[in-house]
Amino acid sequence: MPSQNVDLIRTLFQSRLTTLEHLLKSAQSHFGDDESFLIKRIAADMFPFGTQIAFTCNQPRNFALWCNGKPANNLDPDVTSLAQAYGHIANTKELLLGINIEDAKLAEMTRIYEGQSLYIELSGHAYVNEFLIPNFYFHMVTAYGILRMAGVPIGKRDYMMHLVPLIRTE
């Protein structure tokens, strides 16, 4: 049985990946059969929407791989089809389901390689809280921003849909 902390992290990633999938479906509904929205970007020097999908998935993917004692393995960032985008999300969610570790894993040190001979060394807690989660949200917000800029009718409720089940009336 996974630890409570690891389960919370997995639940966070799973629910936000569901949000990412919802945003993708909203874009698909808006654009129909035209998959060219996958190459839209906010600025010329930023990665396109399809790449943002891959980069968003890389964070929970690499968390699951790390939990299972495997090295980081990023997804192909050249996402050019809806099938590939949905596949990245589904495969990442499935990989998260295979996590079965104890809290002690979060105390272990890990290295994040940043190219050539550069690396960052962090505890598991810092790896999750200072690297994975901020990167996850950065790429998810960028994907959301690209869709808004492209005219997809989404709003904060679509981005915060993990809270919708908690809404009550008086």
pTM for the predicted model, two decimal places:
0.93
Nearest to 150 by CA among 38, 70, 16, 60: 38
pLDDT value at residue 128: 95
pLDDT value at residue 2: 52
Looking up tokens 């996850």 gives 136
CA distance 79 to 52: 9
Q: What is the mean pLDDT of each run of 10 residues along the chain (170 residues)?
A: 80 96 98 96 97 98 94 95 98 94 87 87 94 97 98 96 90
**Which structural domain, as residue segments, surrounds residue 146?**
4-166
3-state secondary structure the chain: CCCHHHHHHHHHHHHHHHHHHHHHHHHHHHHCCCHHHHHCCCCCCCCCHHHHHHHHHHHHHHHHHHHCCCCCCCCCCCCCCHHHHHHHHHHHHHHHHCCCCCHHHHHCEEEEECCCCCEEEEEHHHHHHHHHHHHHHHHHHHHHHHHHHCCCCCCHHHHCHHHHHHCCCC
CA distance 166 to 147: 26
pLDDT value at residue 31: 97
CATH of the domain at 52: 1.20.120.450
Domain count, the chain: 1
